[in-house]
């Protein structure tokens, strides 16, 4: 079953004394089958899409999923669901997120859902969940995971700003990516590179890296290198001439 094209819902975070006090009392726990009804309620609040029952069973049981809930006073106030997948299992539009030199079994993490219940927004819940997931991705267990990526509606400004504040970079525009209530909507893909991962190099990247290298090669170093090369040129020519002369003598002796 495909788990793609679920527009992530996110809220902005306001750093205030009240929000900090609230977060200090939030507990994190992994989702189980017992949380399916709660997850359904949150998804119906966030998304204009009805997910099949087997999808909820998959994300609360599958070992490849990271499904974490934020709980406050016994109430689930936010959820993140992400999947660890291999590069060759990504959909076509996402295969270029990593550089072409990475092997097909390189891991990536895809965020399916990230959000907070309406009455608990702007309290840092989404940031707490995202930070917990990124800490998990940076662990030795997932050192081979080189990027975290997601899809988001272009009209979901709050989500776009949130991810950009958390250092995600816009990868590309996905025209007509979402089908919602019979209408097509554009999406963005966003990526955060982790564990020394990096995207494909464009021609601009090659030029910029060349300029950076040349700028680090100071004028003094360049002058010293040029002087050393010119100064040693006569000796190199003399050595080359002697080698040719010696080779000629050896050839005559063999005759």
Catalytic residue among 56, 149, 151, 163: 151
Q: What's the rounded Cα separation, in Å, for the pair 155 and 38?
A: 26
Strand order in the sheet with 107-116: 27-30, 65-72, 75-86, 107-116, 145-153, 183-193, 169-180
Query: Which one of 110, 177, 190, 193 is the catalytic residue?
Result: 110
Residue 109 — φ and ψ, nearest 5°? -120, 130
Q: How far is CA 116 from the centre of its chain?
A: 22
Which candidate, 7, 57, 49, places its Cα nearest to that of 32?
57
110 classed as catalytic: yes
Residues recognised as catalytic: 110, 151
């Amino acid at each position: 079953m495909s788990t793609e094209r679920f527009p992530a819902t996110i809220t902005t975070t306001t750093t205030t004394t009240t929000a900090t006090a609230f977060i200090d009392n939030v507990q994190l726990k992994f989702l189980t089958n017992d949380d399916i009804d709660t997850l359904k309620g949150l998804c119906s609040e966030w998304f204009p899409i009805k997910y099949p029952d087997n999808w909820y069973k998959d994300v609360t049981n599958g070992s490849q999923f990271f499904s974490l809930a934020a709980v406050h006073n016994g109430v689930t106030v936010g959820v993140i669901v992400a999947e660890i997948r291999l590069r060759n299992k990504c959909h076509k539009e996402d295969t270029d997120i990593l550089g072409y030199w990475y092997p097909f079994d390189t891991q990536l993490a895809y965020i399916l859902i990230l959000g907070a219940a309406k009455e608990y927004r702007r309290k840092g819940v989404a940031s707490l969940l995202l930070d917990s997931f990124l800490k998990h991705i940076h662990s030795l267990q997932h050192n081979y995971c080189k990027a975290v990526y997601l899809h988001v509606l272009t009209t979901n400004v709050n989500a776009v700003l949130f991810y950009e504040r958390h250092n995600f970079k816009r990868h590309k525009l996905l025209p007509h990516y979402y089908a919602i209530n019979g209408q097509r909507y554009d999406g963005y893909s966003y990526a955060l590179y982790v564990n020394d991962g990096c995207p494909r190099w464009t021609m601009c990247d090659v030029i910029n890296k060349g300029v950076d290298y040349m700028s680090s090669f100071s004028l003094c170093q360049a002058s010293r290198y040029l002087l050393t090369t010119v100064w040693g040129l006569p000796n190199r020519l003399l050595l080359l001439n002697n080698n040719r002369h010696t080779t000629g003598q050896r050839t005559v002796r063999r005759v």
